[in-house]
Amino acid sequence: MSNLHSVSVTPASQRVLITGGAGFLGSHLCERLLAQGHEVLCVDNFVTGRLSNIQHLASNPKFRLVRQDIVLPVVAEVDAIYNLACPASPPHYQADPIQTMKTNVLGALNLLELARQRGIRIFQASTSEVYGDPHVHPQPESYWGNVNPFGPRSCYDEGKRCAETLFFDFHKQHDVEIKIARIFNTYGPRMRPDDGRVVSNFIVQALQNEDITIYGNGSQTRSFCFVDDLIDGFLKLMASDRSLTSPVNLGNPVEFTVRELAEQVIDLTGSRSKLVLRPLPIDDPQQRRPDISLATRELGWTPKVALTDGLKQTIQYFDGLLTQEARELAETA
Ligand code: NAD
Ligand code: UDP
């Protein structure tokens, strides 16, 4: 099945397709491109995306929303594509691993085919998970990774690796203009409270004075990038010279243990929560930090927002959301 969507033409602007546009990162990207005067066609199947993430854009005549799964062919009259569709949180992408693999592989194929037919540039939201549980630290783009092809994370890790290969081959075989961002852990407003990732879990738990669930002993590390910084990186990468076709790491190189993150969240919320230890998920990477020298050199990009400042904004968002949910519950009781 395929759909034909035409978006009215405004000469000064590009018509941009954003798959996964109702998700956490996608909604910020929609907003930023609209603010720059572009037209945005958001395609989403709402598996993890939410209407509330994009509701404020609905009155903008340059914004269109189509509910569609990218596993099916997408036909759209657009000038550029950002492919962000795929659940990013481990519990969500592991809930239906076959669909996750199809999204990553068939979705990428469908969008690359659209890019080939229209002769347009296409951006892929790849991931630091292509490095798996890395033996090289920090991770440069040249590292091939240490990925289990046969485990609970494989549908995501191997799916994203396969998508990168498809991008490479469409460029090589059909001269499609490709841009691949390897995104490291990113957080900020519009994550789902039930997203399951560490930043949203810890903040929601802290705001409700519930136990903070540390998986393993909390010594594993991640490097957390605030969403605004990441979107700056997306835009710079997409605008880069067509010769830049290799994957580019985008993330904040300041590394924290999961325990340090929990302690910061408790400090910033003034929570009475206690830290509790839970089993470490299978194949959970022990350490992760991007080497961003390529992004700095080629794009002039470095993240600006310190973890404390980004956490403050994210805490404020979740505080507002939980207060609103509590009010709505009281009204219906
Ligand atoms: P998210 O789960 O909030 O957003 C994903 C969006 O894609 C959702 O709106 C979802 O409904 C949509 N979607 C999923 N499968 C789809 C399908 N088959 N067809 C159409 N829409 C579909 O996740 P996010 O954090 O916004 O991540 C966006 C992209 O960035 C993902 O591709 C993810 O793999 C990648 N990424 C994110 C991070 C991060 O830290 N946020 C890190 C690495 C990579
Ligand atoms: N984590 C944790 N408690 C939680 C959620 C996650 O300790 O409630 C840990 C998880 O085991 C991992 C790290 O935090 O080591 C980051 O997890 P997340 O799911 O956010 O991202 P990813 O593992 O994909 O980097």
Task: Locate the domains of the chain by residue range.
Answer: 15-188+226-253+285-304
Nearest to 152 by CA among 102, 107, 194, 91: 91
pLDDT band at 291 (very low <50, low <70, confident <90, very high): very high
The 10s digit of each residue's pLDDT in 19-68 is 999 999 999 999 999 999 999 999 999 999 999 999 999 999 999 999 99
Instruction: Determine which residue's CA is closest to atom 16 belonging to ligand 2.
Output: 198
Indicate if ligand 1 lies below 6 Å from the C-beta of 31.
no
Among 131, 156, 187, 215, which one carries the catalytic annotation?
156
Whether the upstream peptide bond of residue 138 has omega within 30° of 0, thus cis, is: yes
Q: How many CA atoms lie within 13 A of 293 on its CB side?
A: 6
Supply the pTM of this predicted model. Answer: 0.96
Q: With bands split at pLDDT 50, 70 and 90, how would you rate the model's confidence at 12?
A: low
Confidence at 171, pLDDT banded by 50, 70, 90:
very high
Span 300-324, pLDDT tens digits:
999 999 999 999 999 999 999 999 9
Is 156 one of the catalytic residues?
yes
pLDDT confidence band for 9 (50 / 70 / 90): very low
Q: Which of 312, 290, 311 is nearest to 302 (CA)?
A: 290
> Average pLDDT of 163-170?
98
**Is the confidence at residue 6, as pLDDT, over 50?**
no
Task: Give yes or no for residue 15 having a pLDDT over 70.
Answer: yes
Are the beta carbons of 147 and 285 closer than 8 angstroms?
Answer: no
Q: Tell the residue nearest (CA) to atom 10 of ligand 2.
A: 215
CB atoms within 10 A of CB 266: 18
Using the 8-state DSSP alphabet, how is residue 210 labeled? P
Closest CA to 127 of 188, 71, 173, 83: 83
Residue with CA nearest ligand 1 atom 34: 88
Q: 3-state class of 218 per DSSP? A: coil
The residue type of 272 is R
Question: How much is the average pLDDT of 126-145?
Answer: 98
> What is the average per-residue pLDDT within 209-214?
98
CATH (residue range 15-188+226-253+285-304):
3.40.50.720
